[in-house]
Structure 1
Amino acid sequence: MLVHFYHFLEKLKSSPARKNRTLIISTIISLCLNLFIWLLIYFRLQPIVKLLPADQAFIPLHYNTYLGVDSFGNWLNIFLLPGLGVLILLINTLLAILIYNRKDILSYFLVITNLISQFLLLIATVFIILINI
């Protein structure tokens, strides 16, 4: 099992995708967007939640235009959004690096999907914060 892991790491290290500027720039922008989501939640939502008693730290997590707020939950559940973003970022980036030799256009689609998903998660986070202010 450990041998397969080392083989996987060697494949990542020797991939020519590490020298492709498009892949690197979009991955860095996606990573910065995800970091911004984490910081936005921490600095904008945590001060609001600290004012609430511990047993009432439930916030609106989803808003529907037809019904209004339709999902409440613990304020820590909002960290699922950037966590999902990290998971998407890792999986898509690893797949893009591994398949770059065979299908370079698919690698581009994967890293662009990273960028789009991080942007959509940022919009969702901003809307959740606006609901709670």
Structure 2
Amino acid sequence: MFYYPKLYFRDLWISVPLLGVILIQIFLWVYLIFNIHSDAGQIFLHYNIIFGVDLVGDWWRIYFIPLAGVVVILLNYFFSLMLYSVDKFLARLMSGWVLFFHLFLMIGIILLVRLNA
């Protein structure tokens, strides 16, 4: 059985994490647009504790990080919608995990922007 998207998004365990993820995505794009400038040239794209900076690239490549977040949202909510009629708990869990994923994405982007400042 397939649930209509209108019924699916009325579930608070689905819609509240989606609202949080959308707000985080808006923050990520605005934060990057105002802090990463096109005249930056080469910027740090990855940093780890052991090796330090291990990936340097063009300024526009940092926008792939929130773009990957959009892809994760679309795929996760599509599969969650497909699973909702079979197992509501798993569909709700997937919606919660995408919010958890985006919190770490936000932390990573904030740290990368501060590293490049």
With structure 1 as the length reference, what TM-score do the two structures score?
0.80
- Relative distance call for 1:102 and 1:109 in structure 2 (3 A) is same
Cα drift, residue 69 of structure 1: 1.4
Residues 80-126 of structure 1: CA distance to partner in whole angstroms, max 9, x if unpaired?
11011000001111111221111001111110111011111111101
**1:77 and 2:61 aligned:** yes
**1:18 and 2:2 aligned:** no
Structure 2: runs of 5+ lacking an equivalent: none
**Mapping 1:44-123, distance limit 5 Å:** 44-46=35-37, 49-50=38-39, 52=40, 57-123=41-107
Structure 1: runs of 5+ lacking an equivalent: 1-10
Aligned Cα root-mean-square deviation (Å): 1.6
C-alpha separation in 1, matches of 2:35 and 2:78: 32
Cα drift, residue 12 of structure 1: 6.2
Cα drift, residue 64 of structure 1: 2.2
Between Structure 1 and Structure 2, how many residues are aligned?
116
The match for 2:19 is: 28
Contact 1:31 1:89 in 2 (8 A): no
Larger Rg: 1
Percent identity reads: 22
**Mapping 1:118-133, distance limit 5 Å:** 118-133=102-117
With structure 2 as the length reference, what TM-score do the two structures score?
0.90
Residues 7-44 of structure 1: CA distance to partner in whole angstroms, max 9, x if unpaired?
xxxx5635632221120111111111011111110011
- Relative distance call for 1:13 and 1:130 in structure 2 (3 A) is same
